[in-house]
A = this chain, B = another copy of it.
């Protein structure tokens, strides 16, 4: 297999993934925004998640900032701003903020030193818990904790389920495919029959 063919194939093999914009700032208050599709749920109590960061990618600015501050924001990508979200993956130099480059709007909240994305319907403030280096291919595995979630109450169903159809959350496949899901169904808790 050709190297690029193979990269596209393996990257898209796993189907649909969460899309989030990670908002950070450095000690000079320069902001950075980068699209990630590698968020994975770790547990609800405490509310933990993980992200994969490739050291050779544009994501490295994000990782440097996260290490500097110990905190960052996770902003779920909505279908109305997938082009702008995708554009954050361009290799901008560190002194250029992807907020300026893409036209996405910085939102600052009291007592939090990292920027949110105003356009996002689901905004999360997170702090770093732990970091592993995966020796096998030199990627970083970052574990973080949810501190606060900013979301319209109408987007949360009675049992706590976040309605991503109402939030108009997009999903991604590979590095460049953007999709809009439709609900098939929510199923009851599976029991042995």
Q: Report which A residues bind B (CB closer than 8 A).
A: 1-20, 37-50, 52, 54, 76, 79, 82-83, 86-92, 96, 101, 122, 124, 129-130, 132, 134-137, 139, 141, 143, 146, 149, 156, 159-162, 164, 169-171, 173-174, 176-193
Return A188 CB to nearest CB of chain B, in Å: 7
Q: How far is the CA of A29 from the CA of B73 in the complex (A)?
A: 46
Q: Find the residue from A20, A101, A137, A181 having the highest chain B CB count within 10 A.
A: A181
User: Of the candidates B9, B14, B101, which one forms a contact with A18 in the assembled complex, judged by CB atoms under 8 Å apart?
Assistant: B14
Taking a contact as CB atoms under 8 Å apart, the answer to whether A16 and B178 are in contact is no
Q: Is A189 touching B176 in the complex (CB atoms < 8 A)?
A: yes
Q: Are B7 and A45 neighbours in the complex by a CB distance under 8 Å?
A: yes
A139 neighbours in B (Cβ, 8 Å): 42-43
Chain A interface main SS type: mixed
Question: Which 3 A-B pairs rank lowest in CB-CB distance, beginning with the nearest?
Answer: A8-B160, A16-B171, A179-B181
B residues within 8 A CB of A183? 177-179
Selected A-B contacts with CB under 8 Å, 7 pairs: A9-B44, A17-B40, A41-B52, A42-B134, A87-B190, A141-B141, A164-B173
- The answer for the CA separation of A188 and B96 in the assembled complex, in Å, is 21
> Is B184 in contact with A146, judged by CB distance below 8 angstroms?
no
Across the two chains, which residue of chain B brings its CB closest to A190? B90
CB-based contact A160/B6 at 8 Å: yes
